Amino acid sequence: MSEPIIAQQFWIQSPGHGEIRQAALGELRDGEVLVKARYSGISRGTEALVFGGHVPVSQYDDMRAPFQEGEFPGPVKYGYSSVGEVVAGPAEWQGRTVFCLFPHQDRYRVPLSAVALVPSDVPAGRAVLAANMETAVNVAWDARPAVGDRIVVVGGGVVGLLVAWLCQQMAGVELTVVDPNSTRVAVADALGVRCVTEPPGDTEADVVIHASGRPEGLVAALSLAGTEATIVEASWYGAREVPLPLGERFHARRLTLRSSQVGRLSPAQVPRWTHGRRSGARADAAASVRARRLDFGREPLHGAADRHGGVDAGAGGHPVPPHTLRIMRQRRTCVQP
C-alpha cells in the first residue's frame, strides 16, 4: 500500500476567518488525474463576498462552486481558478499544465473531463485568468456590441478590462474604460484600451458595461447611457442592497438594465452553444489577449488564512517559497510573472 497523499486545503471556517486543513485524497481512480497546483486565483468580487459571509440564503444553491465542500456561510472550501501540473493519470496527460475550476488546494484528484490544457505559450501564473475570461465572454455576449457602437466600461479590474478588450475587437467601436484608480490606466494601455479616471462628459453611450463591483459605479453607468441604450450589470453584490436613481433619466431614455451571470449562457447563444463550447472560446481568447500586464500579488497557501479577506486592499506582493501553491490576489501591477 502506498502512503496516502495529504492535501493542504484552504477553508473559510466562519465569515472573515480562514484556516488551512489537511485531508487524505484517496486512491486515483480510472478516468481521473492527480494535479499538483501551482497557482490559485482569488476573485476580488465573489470570493470576497463569500469570505465575508455575504451570500444570501436564497443563493446558497446557485452559488455552489465545482468541487466545493461544506456549506455557506461556513465551514466551506470555496474557489474556482486553479492551475497546476498533472502528476498522475493517463500517460499522455502527465507533465501537462492544466486549468481546473477547483478550490484552493495544493494537490487534488478530479475527473479528466474537469481539466483543460493550458496553451504552451500562456504562463501558468497568467492562466488563472481563464475563469475571468469566461465571465468576460458571457458579458460581451449579453452586451451585444455592434459595429461602430460607443461603449463605456465602468470598472477597470480584470473582468472589466477583459470585456473591454473583447468588445474592442468589433470594427469601428469607440470604447472607453472608466476607473478612478489611476494605476489601471497603464494596464489598460498595455491592452490597447483607452482608460480614464473620470466619466467623459456628455456621453451618449450605446452600451454601458458595469464591472466595478460598487453601487456608485452602477449609478455612474446609468448616467452614461444614451437613449434606448443597454446597461449590462456584471457585478454581484451578494446580500448588499443597491439604491439606484431610477426617477431621473432612466424612464425618459427608455434604458435597459440587463444582468449577466457566468453560470447561465446568454439567451442568444443557447440554441447553438454549450458551456463546453464557451470554454473553448474562452481559451482561444485568453491565448490571444496580451494579458501579461494583468499580473497579481502572490503569497503561499499557508498565508491565505490571514490574507484572504484583504483581497480588496491592494497590498503588495510577498516572497513565495518554492514548491508551494501560490495564492494569486487579483490586483493590477505592471510586473510580468
Query: Residue 335 — very low, low, confident or very high, per pLDDT cuts 50/70/90?
Result: very low
The pLDDT of residue 308 = 58
Cβ-Cβ contacts under 8 Å for 206 (sequence gap 6 or more): 145, 146, 149, 150, 151, 226, 229, 230
> For the segment 264-314, what is each residue's pLDDT rounded down to a tens digit?
778 888 778 777 777 766 666 665 665 555 655 566 666 565 555 444 333
Residues 142, 121 share a domain: no
Residues 167, 209 share a domain: yes
Residues 58, 14 share a domain: yes
Query: Residue 191 — very low, low, confident or very high, per pLDDT cuts 50/70/90?
Result: confident
Query: Residue 8 — very low, low, confident or very high, per pLDDT cuts 50/70/90?
Result: very high
The pLDDT of residue 125 = 83
Q: What is the number of structural domains in the chain?
A: 2
Highest mean pLDDT (candidates 157-166, 225-234, 243-252, 299-308) = 225-234
Average pLDDT, stretch 158-185?
93
Domain membership of residue 72 (yes or no) is yes
Query: Residue 187 — very low, low, confident or very high, per pLDDT cuts 50/70/90?
Result: confident
Res 323 pLDDT > 50: no
Three cell numbers at 230?
Answer: 443597454
Residues 254, 140 share a domain: yes
Res 150 pLDDT > 60: yes
Domain membership of residue 278 (yes or no) is no
Q: What is the CATH number of the domain that holds 116?
A: 3.90.180.10
Average pLDDT, stretch 68-94?
96
The pLDDT of residue 336 = 25
Residues 219, 120 share a domain: no
Domain endpoint, select from 205, 240, 259: 259
Domain membership of residue 19 (yes or no) is yes
Domain membership of residue 131 (yes or no) is no
Domain endpoint, select from 206, 231, 259: 259
Domain membership of residue 100 (yes or no) is yes
Domain membership of residue 277 (yes or no) is no
Residues 244, 155 share a domain: yes
Q: What is the CATH number of the domain that holds 185?
A: 3.40.50.720
> For the segment 9-67, what is each residue's pLDDT rounded down to a tens digit?
999 999 999 999 999 999 999 999 999 999 998 888 889 999 999 999 999 999 999 99
The pLDDT of residue 316 = 29
Residues 239, 144 share a domain: yes
Domain membership of residue 78 (yes or no) is yes
Segments forming the whole domain that contains residue 195:
136-259
Domain endpoint, select from 239, 259, 279: 259
